[in-house]
Amino acid sequence: MALAWAGYDGSGGFELVESVPWIPTLGVGYKVGLDGVSLPLAAMTALLFLVSIAYPVDLRGRARQYFAALLFLEAASLGVFLALDLFLFYVFFDVSLVGMYFLIAVWGHGDSQRSALKFFLYTLAGSLAMLLAILGLYLSSEPRTFDMAELIRQQPLDGDGLRAALVFLGFAVGLGVKTPLVPVHTWLPPAHVDAPGPASAILAGVLLKMGTYGYVRILLSMMPQTYERFALPLAIVATVSIVYGALVSLAQTNLKRLVAYSSVNHMGYVILGISAAAAAGVDGDARAASLALSGATLEMVAHGLITGALFLLAGSVWSRAETYELDELGGLAGRAPAMTGAVVLAAFASLGLPGLAGFVAEFQIFAGTFAIYPAVAAVALVGLVITAALFLRMIQRAFLGALPERWASWPELSRTETLALAPVLALIVLIGVAPAWVLDVIDTTASQLVGR
Amino acid sequence: MGGALFLLTAAALASGRPPRGFYALFTVITAVLAMVGSALAWGRVTDPARGAYSAIGDAIMVDGFSVFFGIVITVAIALAALLADDYLRREGLDGPELYVLMLLSGTGGLVMAMANDLIVVFLGLETLSIALYVMAGFQLRRLESQESAIKYFVLGSFSSAFLLYGIALVYGATGSTNFSRIADFLADNLLAANGLLLAGFALLLVGLGFKVAAVPFHVWTPDVYQGAPTPVTAFLASASKAAGFAALLRVFLSTFDLYRLDWRPIMWVLAVLTLVVGSFLAVVQTDVKRMLAYSSISHAGFVLVGAEAASDRGLAGALFYLLAYTFMVVGSFGVATLVGRRGDADHSLPAYRGLSQRRPLLALAFTVFLLAQAGVPLTSGFLAKFYVIGAAVEAESYALALIAMISAVVSAFVYLRITVAMYMTVEEGDDAAAALPFVRVPPAAALSLGIALVFTVVVGLVPSPVVDFARDALPVLVSAGP
C-alpha cells in the first residue's frame, strides 16, 4: 500500500490500472486501479486489517480457520475499493459478507449466530437490490459494459426519467443498508455487540465504508444528474441518521452498542457531505462541493481508524470482563492508565476534538454543507453536541469513579495490544495535526468529481 | 450422432451382468461415453456447414440444445451412480437393478431433450417416469420410500394424462404434433378461435410443470424427495428436472414462440408462485432433505424466470442455471447421503451439528454447495442467478426480478441454518455429541462430491466457457423438414 501511495502521481484519474478480461461474453473484466478516493481508503483498510490480525482474541481452538477468514475478508475488502469493474465490485462486495458472517457466527459471543444471520440477510437483501441496479445500469450502457471508467464516460442514464430514478433508488437502498442509513440500520447493533473485537473493528472500519464508497464511486460518478435530483432527500435521511444515531447512542448502557450507534451517526456525516457535493451539481458552488466531498472521504478514513480503535479496545474490555455494561465497569483509569488513555484519545477524536482526525473531516463536511444546505447542516450540528455528551458520559462511567471490587486486579493493555493500537492512534493524531498529505491526494479526485 | 447416445444407453441394458461390484463403474463409463458422444455431436452441430439435423422421420432433433441437455443428464447419471455405489452396499441392496433403472430413466430424459415431436416428448417422459417410480420405492424396508413411490406414481400418472390431453388438444388446433410443423402452421395461419390451442398450452404446462416441480404442481416433491433413497433424490432433482425443463423450454420458447403474449403471463404467475412458495416453505422445515426439496422448487422458479423472459438471453440463462444447479444439487444430496448413514433415516438438522469438527472437508464442501445455491459470488450459483435475473431485467420484468431477489434472500436463510448447524461447536461432554457417530466418506462418493465441488468453484471463477456453451446451445426449432 505504501508502494501504491508512492506510485500515485495525483492526476485525479484512475492509476495503476491492471486489467484482464474475465467473462468477455458479458463484458466483464478483472480490472483494478486506484484514484484519490480509493487510495486512502485502501491504505486504511490494509492498516486496520494488519492491526486486527495482530490483535489478541479468543480463538476457540480454531486458529487456522480464524486467520483464513480474516485474510479472505481482507482480500474481498481491498477488492471492493480497488475494483474498476462494476461486476467485480459486486462480487467482492458480496463475498465480504461471507467472511464476516463466519467471523461473527463462529468466534462471536452472546447470541452471535442470530446476529450473524441478521447481518447476512439484511446486507444480502441490500446487495441484491444493488445487483438489480447494476443490471439496470449495464443494460442502459451502449456498448454494454461493466467497466467503471467507461460507464463514467458514458453517463448512460442521464436524463432518463423513471429508469434512472429506479436504478438510483436500487443503489441508494443497497448501499444504504451497508452504510447504514437510518431506516435500514437495525442489523448493525446486534452484529457489533456479538462480534469479536477485531471483527467489529473491521465491520465498522472497513465494511461500512463500502457503502459510502459506493455512493461516491457509483452514484456520484456515474449518475451525477440523477443524484442531484435526489440529493436533498438523501441529505435529510443522512441528517436523521446523524441525530437519531446520536440520541440512541446516548441512551445505551452497553459499550459496544454505544459505539455502534455512534457509527450510524458518523456515517450520516459522510452521506451528508457526499449529498451536499452532489447537490451543488454542475453549476453550483464547486469549491464548497469539493470541500464537502473531500471532507466526507476523509471522514471515512478517520472514522475507520477511530472506530476501529474503539472496537478493538472494547474487545479488550470483553476479554477481561466478559461484559460491555457500563454500569458494571468504573474507575478503570486507576488500574489501567494506558488503556484509559487510548479510549479517551479515540473517543475525543470521535466527538471531533480539534487536533484529532475526526475534527478535520467533520469541519470540512460542515464548512462545505453550510454553503449548500444551511438548514440541514444546522440540524446536523445538533448531532455533534450529542456525540460529545455521549462519549464524555461513556468515559466517565467506565473509567472514572470508584473501582468495583471485582476489577481490583484489572490487567493493563498487554504489549501486543499496545503495539497494535499504536499505529492507529498515531495516525489519528497525525491526520488531526497535519492533514494536508491525505487531503491533497483526496482533492485531486474530489475536485474533478464535482467540477464536471 | 445423437442416436449414438440412445444406442449406448440401450446397450448398457442389454449387455448382461458385469462382475459384482462393478455396476456403478459400468454405469459411470456408459454415462461418460454418452457424454463423449454428446461432445462429438456438439462439434458436429456447431459446425456452421452442417448445423443441426433431425432424424427418425423428424421426430428427433439433434441441435445444440439437445446436446446441452444430453450432457447435463449424463453428468447427473454419472454423479448419482457414484453416490449410489456405496449407498447400496451400505443398505444391503447391491445389484444391477438401480443402475439399469437409472440408465433407463436417463435415456427417457435424453429422448425428451431431443424430441422434436410432442408424442416423442410423451414417450421420453414415460420412460423417464416409470423407471423413477420404481427407483423411488427402491428402499424396500423403509415405509417412507414405499409411500413416496406410490405418491409419485399416482400423481405422476395424473400429470402424464394431462400432458397427453394437452397434446391431443394442440394436435386438434394445429393438425400436427411435430414441432417444426406446428411452428410453420402457426406462422402461416391466424387462428380465429384459439381456445383449443390455449387449453392445450395450459394442459401441457400442467404436465411439464409437474415434472419440474413448479408450484402449484409441486405437492409431491417434498414427500418424494424425502422418502426416496437419497442418491435417487439426487438423480430426481437433477436429471429428471433437467429433462422436464428441456421439454418445457423447447415447447414454449421456440415452438409456441409466436404465442408468447398468451403464455408469458401464465409463466409469470408460475415463476412467482414457485419462487415464493419454494423459498418460504423451506424456512419452516426441520428435515434437511425436505429443506433441499423446497429449495429445489425455488430453483425451478429461477429457471422459469429465465424462461419467462422469452429471449435468447433468458434461454441461455435458464440453460446455464440448470447446468450449474445439477452439480450443486447432486453435491448437496450427496452430502445428505453420507450424513444420513445406515437406514437413510436421519436427516434432521441436529444430525449435522458439529460436522465441521468431525469431517471438516465434507462440511466445507457442503458449505460451498449451499452458498452456491444461495447465489454467493465466486460460485457457479451466483452467475446462474445473475444471468437469469439479467435476462428478466432486460425483458423489463422488473417485478419478477424483484420477487426473485427477495426469494433468494429468504432461501439464503435456509442455507445458512444448515451451515450454522454444521459449524456450531459441539461442547465436550454434550450428550448429543457423544451420540453422533462417525460419518464415513467412501471414495466413490468422495469422487462424485469432488467433481461437483470443482465444477461449482471453477465455473464461479472462470465462467466464460460454460457461458458460451449455454449461449450457443439455443434450440433450432423450425427445421427444414418436408
Q: Residue by residue, what is the 3-state secondary structure of chain B?
A: CHHHHHHHHHHHHHCCCCCCCCHHHHHHHHHHHHHHHHHHHHHHHHCCCCCCEEECCCCEEECHHHHHHHHHHHHHHHHHHHHHHHHHHHHCCCCCHHHHHHHHHHHHHHHHHHECEHHHHHHHHHHHHHHHHHHHCCCCCCHHHHHHHHHHHHHHHHHHHHHHHHHHHHHHHHCCCEHHHHHHHHHHCCCCCCHHHHHHHHHHHHHHHHHHCCCCCCCHHHHHHHHCCHHHHHHHHHHHHHHHHHHHHHHHHHHCHHHHHHHHHHHHHHHHHHHHHHHHHHHCCCEHHHHHHHHHHHHHHHHHHHHHCCCHHHHHHHHHHHHHHHHHHHHHHHHHHHHHCCCCCCCEHHHHCCHHHHCHHHHHHHHHHHHHHHCCCCCHHHHHHHHHHHHHHHCCCHHHHHHHHHHHHHHHHHHHHHHHHHHCCCCCCCHHHHHCCCCCCCHHHHHHHHHHHHHHHHHHHCCHHHHHHHHHCCCCCCCCCC
Residues from chain B that touch A139, judged by Cβ atoms under 8 A, are: 390, 393-394
Question: Which residue in the block uniquely carries the three cell numbers 478493538?
Answer: A312
Tell me what pLDDT residue B3 has: 47
Q: Point out which residues pair with A28 in neighbouring strands.
A: A23
Is A121 in Cβ contact with B405 (below 8 Å)?
A: no
Conformation bin of residue B57: beta by default, left when phi > 0, alpha when psi is -120 to 50: left
Tell me what pLDDT residue B58 has: 67
Residues from chain A that touch B379, judged by Cβ atoms under 8 A, are: none
Residues of chain A with pLDDT under 70: 1-29, 58-61, 157-160, 281-284, 450-452
Residues from chain B that touch A73, judged by Cβ atoms under 8 A, are: none
Residues from chain B that touch A91, judged by Cβ atoms under 8 A, are: 377-378, 382
Strands A15-23 and A28-34: antiparallel
3-state SS, residue B115? strand
CA closest to A123 among chain B residues: B409
Asked if residue B213 lies in contact with residue B296, where contact means CB atoms within 8 angstroms, the answer is: yes
Q: Point out which residues pair with A21 in neighbouring strands.
A: A29
Residues from chain B that touch A136, judged by Cβ atoms under 8 A, are: 393
Predicted confidence (pLDDT) per residue in A205-254, tens digit: 888 888 888 888 888 888 877 888 888 888 888 888 888 888 888 888 88
For residue A9, being part of any structural domain is answered with: no
Q: Which residue in B378, B405, B424 is closest to A132 by CB distance?
A: B405
CA–CA dist B20, A443 (Å, integer)? 76
Comparing B29 with A391, the larger pLDDT belongs to A391
Q: Which residue in A24, A125, A135 is closest to B389 by CB distance?
A: A135
Torsion of CA A33, A38, A41, A45, to 10 degrees: -20
Predicted confidence (pLDDT) per residue in B357-385, tens digit: 777 788 888 888 888 888 887 788 888 88
Whether a cis peptide bond, with omega within 30° of 0, leads into B18 is: no
CA closest to B427 among chain A residues: A60
For residue B89, being part of any structural domain is answered with: yes
Tell me what pLDDT residue A245 has: 86
Polymer length in residues for chain A: 452
Q: Amino acid letter at B3?
A: G
Name the band, by pLDDT with cuts 50, 70 and 90, for residue B396.
confident
Asked if residue B348 lies in contact with residue B286, where contact means CB atoms within 8 angstroms, the answer is: yes
3-state SS, residue B273? helix
What is the DSSP code string of A369-437?
HHHH-HHHHHHHHHHHHHHHHHHHHHHHHHHSSPPPGGGTTPPPPPHHHHHHHHHHHHHHHHHHH-THH
Residue in B155, B286, B288 with CA at minimum distance from that of residue B230 = B288
Cα distance between the two ends of chain A: 29
CA closest to B416 among chain A residues: A117
Is A117 in Cβ contact with B413 (below 8 Å)?
A: yes
CA closest to A121 among chain B residues: B409
For residue A4, being part of any structural domain is answered with: no
Residues from chain B that touch A142, judged by Cβ atoms under 8 A, are: none
Residue A178, burial from CB neighbour count under 10 angstroms (0-12, 13-18, 19+): buried
Residue in B416, B417, B420, B414 with CA at minimum distance from that of residue B278 = B414
Residue in A310, A332, A321 with CA at minimum distance from that of residue A261 = A310
For residue B33, being part of any structural domain is answered with: yes
* Number of domains composing chain A: 1
- Looking from the CA of A447 toward its CB, the CA atoms found within 13 Å total 10
Q: To which H or E segment does residue B446 belong?
A: helix B443-461
Mutation target vs B (from A20, A22, A26, A115; most B CBs, 10 A cutoff): A26
For residue B271, being part of any structural domain is answered with: yes
Residue in A240, A28, A91, A130 with CA at minimum distance from that of residue B378 = A91
Is B464 in Cβ contact with A131 (below 8 Å)?
A: no
Owning domain of residue B9? 2-471
Q: Is A97 on the interface with B (CB under 8 A)?
A: yes
Asked if residue B378 lies in contact with residue B456, where contact means CB atoms within 8 angstroms, the answer is: no
Residues 6+ apart with CB under 8 A from B397: B268, B305, B308, B309
Asked if residue B229 lies in contact with residue B102, where contact means CB atoms within 8 angstroms, the answer is: no
Residues from chain A that touch B402, judged by Cβ atoms under 8 A, are: 132
Polymer length in residues for chain B: 482
Whether a cis peptide bond, with omega within 30° of 0, leads into A180 is: yes
Predicted confidence (pLDDT) per residue in B314-344, tens digit: 888 888 888 888 888 888 888 888 887 655 5
Instruction: Work out the angle between the directed axes of helices B195-212 and B260-283 (0-180°, nearest 10).
Output: 30
Name the band, by pLDDT with cuts 50, 70 and 90, for residue B434.
very low
Q: 57-86 in A: which are within 8 Å (CB) of B?
A: 60
Residues from chain B that touch A98, judged by Cβ atoms under 8 A, are: 371, 376
Per the prediction, chain B carries an average pLDDT of 78
CA–CA dist A27, A29 (Å, integer)? 7
CA–CA dist A155, A137 (Å, integer)? 9
Is A132 in Cβ contact with B376 (below 8 Å)?
A: no
Residues of B with CB under 8 A from a CB of A: 371, 374, 376-378, 382, 386, 389-390, 393-394, 398, 401-402, 405-406, 408-409, 412-413, 416-417, 420, 423-425, 462-464, 467-468, 471
Residues from chain B that touch A102, judged by Cβ atoms under 8 A, are: 423
How far A156 CA sits from the closest chain B CA (Å)? 15
3-state SS, residue A18? strand
Q: Amino acid letter at A184?
A: V
- ipTM, 2 decimals? 0.75
Comparing B467 with B328, the larger pLDDT belongs to B328
Q: Which residue in B393, B409, B420 is closest to A128 by CB distance?
A: B409
For residue B414, being part of any structural domain is answered with: yes
Owning domain of residue A61? 16-451
Is A91 in Cβ contact with B393 (below 8 Å)?
A: no
CA–CA dist B10, B87 (Å, integer)? 24
DSSP state of A62: -
Please give the model's pTM, rounded to 2 decimal places.
0.83
CA closest to B354 among chain A residues: A106
DSSP state of A1: -
Residues from chain A that touch B386, judged by Cβ atoms under 8 A, are: 131
3-state SS, residue A8? coil
Residues from chain A that touch B395, judged by Cβ atoms under 8 A, are: none
* Number of domains composing chain B: 1
Q: 360-399 in A: which are within 8 Å (CB) of B?
A: none
Predicted confidence (pLDDT) per residue in B253-307, tens digit: 777 777 777 888 888 888 888 988 888 888 888 888 888 888 888 899 889 888 8
Asked if residue B212 lies in contact with residue B246, where contact means CB atoms within 8 angstroms, the answer is: no
Q: 22-61 in A: which are within 8 Å (CB) of B?
A: 22-26, 60
Is B463 in Cβ contact with A113 (below 8 Å)?
A: no
3-state SS, residue B390? helix
CA closest to B468 among chain A residues: A25
Is A139 in Cβ contact with B394 (below 8 Å)?
A: yes
Is B389 in Cβ contact with A105 (below 8 Å)?
A: no
Mutation target vs B (from A131, A134, A142, A162; most B CBs, 10 A cutoff): A131
Q: Is A338 on the interface with B (CB under 8 A)?
A: no
For residue A65, being part of any structural domain is answered with: yes
Tell me what pLDDT residue B438 has: 62
Q: Is A90 on the interface with B (CB under 8 A)?
A: yes
CA–CA dist B201, B306 (Å, integer)? 19
Residue in A318, A79, A298, A330 with CA at minimum distance from that of residue A200 = A318
Residue A283, burial from CB neighbour count under 10 angstroms (0-12, 13-18, 19+): exposed
For residue B482, being part of any structural domain is answered with: no
How far A236 CA sits from the closest chain B CA (Å)? 27
Q: Which residue in B386, B393, B471 is closest to A25 by CB distance?
A: B471
DSSP state of A220: I
Q: 123-152 in A: which are within 8 Å (CB) of B?
A: 124-125, 128-129, 131-132, 135-136, 138-139
Comparing B481 with B259, the larger pLDDT belongs to B259
How far B394 CA sits from the closest chain A CA (Å)? 7
Tell me what pLDDT residue B94 has: 63
Q: Point out which residues pair with A15 in neighbouring strands.
A: A34
Mutation target vs A (from B364, B368, B376; most A CBs, 10 A cutoff): B376
For A212, other C-beta atoms within 10 Å of its C-beta total 26
